[in-house]
């Protein structure tokens, strides 16, 4: 590595450390995220032709993780319009390691299934319809994970505390040492005024509360605070978890 690039990475490390105590940036990031919920900002993006409902910052973070950790299997819960499955598959294709994506959702729209199965990257994706917290559905993920070397998991389905905690208690077993378990959409816990109680998720019952409950009983994972400090804007506060080696 050249001296210039070494200095770049050293400076970056210092910047990220400083961001952890930048309260002004944190306040502004929360303000942006609040307005993004109100305006449905996250629904504005696509990946290789299909909608992907994420902050661009989180997509860059996932790309960095996948490039660095090189999972041979990514298990995701929550398919929506299929963009995330295509996103993961495109990175697997770029790595060229023969990796696979397993995408699980309780109800996959026929239009989504068609678009995913007809996509050029379809051969890297397995779609499973069913409740991700159902042991029979989880068994399908176990079967595929048993044939894979390095497994990463991303949870982004039903966002209630009960459901996400059930997912965590199951799917954490699939994550291999030094790989990531990512829990999305805990950021809703910061904005109680935006939820009217008509849905099973919101402040007090969401992926962040479930993640905290899971970590209180499981010390096999640590939160990647450096990554979270770097992002500032993320749908996964306290949700980038690394399994200890």
* pLDDT computed for residue 199 by the predictor: 86
Pairing, β 100-105 against β 125-129? parallel
The whole-number pLDDT of residue 3 equals 86
Q: What is the CATH number of domain 3-243?
A: 3.40.50.150
Enter the pTM of the model: 0.96
Q: What is the 3-state secondary structure (H, E, C) of the chain?
A: CCHHHHHHHHHHHHHHHHHCCCHHHHHHHHHHHHHHHHHCHHHHCEECCEECCCCHHHHHHHHHHHHHHCCCEEEEECCCCCHHHHHHHHHHHHHCCCCEEEEEECCCCHHHHHHHHCCCCHHHEEEEECCCCCHHHHHHHHHHHHCCCCEEEEECCCCCHHHHHHHHHHHHHHCCCCCEEEECCHHHHHCHHHCCCCCCCECCECHHHHHHHHHHHCCCEEECHHHHHHHCCCCCCCCEEEECC
C-beta separation of 92 from 65 below 8 A: no
The tens-digit pLDDT sequence of the chain (245 residues) is: 678 999 999 999 999 999 989 999 999 999 999 999 999 999 999 999 999 999 999 999 999 999 999 999 999 999 999 999 999 999 999 999 889 999 999 999 999 999 999 999 999 999 999 999 999 999 999 999 999 999 999 999 999 999 999 999 999 999 999 999 999 999 999 999 998 888 888 889 999 999 999 999 999 999 999 999 999 999 999 999 999 99
Write down the pLDDT at residue 142: 97
Q: Is the Cα dihedral 134, 153, 158, 46 positive or negative?
A: negative
Q: What is the pLDDT of residue 224?
A: 98
pLDDT at 1: 65
Those residues with Cβ within 8 angstroms of residue 230's Cβ, 6 or more apart along the chain or in another chain = 16, 19, 61
């Amino acid at each position: 590595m050249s001296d210039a690039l070494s200095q770049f990475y050293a400076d970056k490390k210092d910047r990220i450390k400083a961001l952890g105590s930048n309260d002004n940036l944190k306040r502004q990031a929360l303000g942006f995220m609040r307005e993004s919920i109100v305006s449905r900002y996250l629904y504005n993006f696509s990946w290789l032709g299909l909608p992907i409902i994420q902050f661009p910052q989180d997509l860059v973070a996932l790309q960095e993780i996948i490039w660095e950790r090189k999972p041979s299997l990514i298990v995701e819960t929550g398919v929506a319009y299929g963009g995330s499955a295509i996103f993961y598959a495109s990175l697997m294709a770029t790595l060229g390691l023969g990796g696979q994506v397993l995408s699980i959702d309780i109800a996959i729209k026929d239009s989504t299934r068609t678009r995913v199965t007809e996509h050029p990257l379809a051969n890297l994706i397995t779609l499973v319809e069913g409740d991700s917290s159902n042991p029979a559905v989880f068994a399908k993920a176990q079967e595929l994970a048993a044939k894979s070397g390095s497994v990463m998991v991303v949870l982004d389905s039903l966002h209630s505390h009960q459901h996400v905690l059930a997912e965590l208690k199951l799917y954490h077993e699939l994550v291999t040492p030094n790989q990531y378990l990512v829990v999305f959409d805990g950021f809703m816990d910061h904005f109680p005024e935006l939820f009217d109680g008509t849905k099973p998720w919101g402040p007090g019952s969401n992926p962040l509360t479930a993640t905290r409950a899971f970590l209180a009983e499981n010390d096999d994972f640590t939160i990647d605070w450096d990554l979270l400090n770097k992002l500032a804007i993320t749908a996964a506060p306290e949700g980038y978890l690394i399994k200890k080696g």
